[in-house]
Amino acid sequence: MVKFISQLLIASLIAFLSPQSAAANPEPPKISITTINTPNLKVVGSNGERGAAIAKLSDSKFLLGGGRNGSNLYLYDLTTRSEQLIGRVISPNQRINDSRFAITDIAVLASDSKSASVLISYPLYNKTSKCVVVKLSAYEVALTEKPKLSKQKDWFTSKPCVPVSAVQHAAGRLEVIDKATAYLTIGDLGFKKIGSKSARGDLGSVFKVGASKVEKISSGHRNQQGIVLIGTDLYTSEHGPRGGDELNLIKKGVDYGWPSVTYGDRYSFFDYVKPARPGTHEGFEKPLYYWVPSVAPTELIQLPTNSTWGSWSEQLVMGTLANQTLIFIQLLAKQRVGAVVSVDVGQRIRDLEVTSTGSILATTDSGQLLLINAAE
């Protein structure tokens, strides 16, 4: 009886302290991993290596952005385990030898067997001013025997241009809305004046972008490395400073607090910005879920309906860098988060895609692709 009462008290305390619902939690998923070596796809810079960006054309064909120079777009065939160079996106004089100066994301607006209309985001170096912006451009990809890349139009260029010595946290994640519009994340770029609303301009924001129209949706973000649209609900995953990584539900016109508030804290006295009130989110929109210590979240995907993932079908999956895990996130009614479980993969995950049957394809900073399935 005493044991039962103790267990009941512990369960009640967990329910009280946790943002999660009391709904039944699914069992942690078991996974199988097939490792595919793709050394030509990883980005190499003076500061280390970075995994490629990835976008799905079909369950067997993918676009990957990276390569040693961070600037190349490739067509990858999962069936034959082979890649073809399509073209170069960033010219040599518009980047420096740093792995962060690489294609950050790719989004497919429309495609068929012959061609694809895509968006590509990337940080762009202004050699004259020695500063950096985040650029979003539209391209056409001819899916011929020898694929070709042709630029159509620049859709967005972030402001202000940030001194190159400060650059980090470009974000640049994309989520397609329809054939003509997408959501785009812009990080704070390590800008020392990010705390000034008049100085930060486009930085630390989520935008809805089209070929001729740009609308700011939300602000107060640090480095949104994942984004996914589920119905009309837009979710982002975001790096905090030292602790305080976030899963956010994006609402129009809302400020998410950075750098005024964060559940984390600065790394050191010399960090580029000092959060005004670390350890809290009071006065600003709170995240749906947060991680202390940090996991370094990357891309978000939703598993398909009736997939081999069982009770995890239709739920969120998030990659991580520091933790080298996949984090499975249960979504509940009324925009709440239920169970959150980590599954070790042993590699830094840079980007994710998912096939119609539920196979997850992850790019890693080691230059390998991981084909991840639910284990029987």
pLDDT at 49 over 80: yes
pLDDT at 18 over 60: no
Altogether, the residues listed in the chain come to a count of 376
Residue showing tokens 């640049």: 172
pLDDT, one tens digit per residue, over 344-369 is 999 999 999 999 999 999 999 999 99
pLDDT at 6 over 50: no
| Single-letter code of the amino acid located at 247 | L
pLDDT at 222 over 90: yes
Q: What is the pLDDT of residue 24?
A: 66
Pairing between β-strand 214-219 and β-strand 224-230 as defined by DSSP bridges: unpaired
Neighbouring CB atoms inside 10 A of 12's CB total 11
- Whole-angstrom distance between the N-terminal and C-terminal Cα of the chain? 38
pLDDT at 42 over 50: yes
Tell me the pLDDT band of 306, cut-offs 50, 70 and 90.
confident
* pLDDT (mean) for 116-140: 97
Q: What is the pLDDT of residue 307?
A: 83
pLDDT at 12 over 60: no
Q: Which of 152, 154, 227, 243 is nearest to 186 (CA)?
A: 227
Domains annotated on the chain, with CATH:
26-374 (2.120.10.30)
Q: What is the pLDDT of residue 339?
A: 97
pLDDT, one tens digit per residue, over 244-302 is 999 999 999 999 999 999 999 999 988 999 999 999 999 999 999 999 999 999 999 99
pLDDT at 142 over 60: yes
Q: What is the pLDDT of residue 225?
A: 98
